[in-house]
Chains A and B, each alone.
Chain A
Amino acid sequence: MTDAAMPLAQSYQDAPTAPAASKPQLHARHPAQEDAATTGAIRGTASSVATRRLLVNVLPPLAFVALLAGGWELMAASRPSPLLPRLALIWSELVEIVSTGDAARQIGITLGRIVMGFALAYVVAIAIGLASARSRIAKSFFDPVLVLGLTVPGLVWALLCVIWFGLSMKTSTIAIALGVAPPLALSLAQGLNAVDPQLIEATHVYRFSRRARLRHLWLPAITPYLLSGARLGFSFAWKVIVLVEIFGLSSGVGYRLNSAFSSQNVEGVLAWTIVFAVVMAVIEYGFMQTIERAVTRWQRVAQV
């Protein structure tokens, strides 16, 4: 503190403290929360929120899965055919690939390829997104590339990369990056353009350092856009990587799917598809949504 600021701070020492706030549930350390009755009320509210969440978020998807499984079993029982295996057969295949560790191994390989592709996509997207947000010429230059990137089907990128790069890590990395970079770059440019110019002025007036501006203004402002771009890109990456693994690689979930298909093993195809879907759900609900909730907490607080 400067010499002048210290006595100044002391001059505010006797200032009255704020009266109890009217929204105690918003503040973890609010004095009103120490009141037992209030704490009880908060607990009651929390329990009803948990029940509502269970009813709205958890039960409907579980009901859907149960309905799907029941429908499948009815169909398989009424028309016995190797093309429609019973649930028990699919389950035993699933147990086998999981218990032998093959599922975890192949998912690890596929996820590793996705991470590599995503890393490259982020580097490219940040460069293009920043340039497009800062310069109209750059935006005009990159717009056709991004539109092209958004419209070309993943299958085309998968085929081209297998042809160009053969059986190598490059194939999956570049195929994913080609598909994921355009939506990410567009989201990033959109996020950068949406940062409130009034806030930029305020940080300028208060002489925030470049680092402070990046950390406290730009990154939080563009994070929702980056997350939405990542989510779009992630679903695209899964589709592309499976195709690449089917066409040109000798490991991964896509390769195993292709092996099961080649040997007419329908329950194998379904078991690998279920593993794939479960991993997707874990990533979406356990990872993406958790990050999203954490970084947009300030918005939800306002809605309480």
Chain B
Amino acid sequence: MSGTIAFSNIDKSYRRPGAAAPEVVLRNFSLRIAPGELVAVIGPSGIGKTTLLHLAAGLETPDDGRVTLGDPANPDHARLGMVFQQPRLLEWRTVTQNIDLAADAAGIDRTLGHRLLRAVQLGGYADAYPLSLSGGQRQRVALARAFAIDPAIVLLDEPFSALDELTARKLRLLLQDLWLRQSPTGLLVTHNTLEAAFLADRIVILGGPPARIVREIRVSAPRPRDSEDPAFFAIHREILATLESLSVPALAA
């Protein structure tokens, strides 16, 4: 069962060492992601994209405003999966143990994770340690772990940016397949405009600072999608044009 992700009037600032005043990253920022929707957030570096993910994951707290996951009346019970830029697996535990630990913590039977491991084509590596796998294989394990808890919400923090393009393409297709089966609600942070167009239902382009939504683009192509669909290239150009228009004043400043 998927849930909503809602950022309501969020303020967030950081005090950098040596800086006279705190750096305001988010001011009165609001964004709502509907159940089952996958929203990609794109914007210049340092604009606050990762801050949004960290707020949703509970790794940071807002200075003001509210982040709600799942059912607003019972937000703590929304099962949350997250795929990071690096796989972040426990290297001293086997592939299966890494997945089982997440399932156990979420109170989900381990069977789903074991089947997912085969679905991500790593059935033969169940007893392997993460360090013996390639980067792409480790990220597959991270994907399996995120979906092994039957998540209501999945957060994706540039999940394929550390991989070569060929591996990244395969993993995007794999992610699409997992999404079609489980339909969680998702928030994807990426710098890859084609990736955003291929995976997301809605693309949110941030400008600032402080971060504000400057443009939203709906991607209406039905799933499963073909990554070579010309519509994605049109969206890619549209995003780039918006980002370029943003970067001119930023560079001038």
Contact = CB atoms under 8 A, between A and B. Distances in A.
Nearest to B155: A205
Given A5-B150, A299-B131, A19 B115 contact: no
Contacts, number: 129
A17 B127 contact: no
A55 interface: no
B184 to A, nearest CB: 11
A298 B102 CA distance: 20
Q: In the complex, which of the residues A6, A18, A30, A207 has the most CB atoms of chain B within 10 Å of its own CB atom?
A: A18
Interface string A185-206: 0000000000000110110111
A26 interface: yes
A1 B109 contact: yes
B250 interface: no
B142 to A, nearest CB: 9
Contacts of A29: 126-127
Contacts of A206: 80-82, 101-102, 105-106, 145, 149
B59 A205 contact: yes
Given A18-B125, A21-B125, A13 B115 contact: yes
B131 A201 contact: no
A2 B150 contact: yes
A18 B115 CA distance: 11
B249 interface: no
Contacts of A23: 128, 132
B101 A216 contact: yes
Interface string B79-100: 0111010101011110001000
Q: In the complex, which of the residues A6, A202, A207 has the most CB atoms of chain B within 10 Å of its own CB atom?
A: A202
B216 interface: no
B223 interface: no
A137 interface: no
B88 A202 contact: yes
A145 interface: no
Interface of B: 1, 57-59, 80-82, 84, 86, 88, 90-93, 97, 101-102, 104-109, 111-112, 115-116, 118-119, 121-129, 131-132, 145, 149-150, 155, 181-182
29 contacts: A4-B150, A5-B109, A6-B109, A8-B182, A12-B112, A16-B121, A18-B118, A18-B122, A18-B124, A19-B121, A26-B129, A27-B126, A27-B128, A198-B86, A201-B59, A202-B84, A205-B58, A205-B80, A206-B80, A207-B80, A207-B105, A207-B106, A208-B105, A212-B101, A220-B92, A297-B129, A298-B131, A301-B129, A301-B131
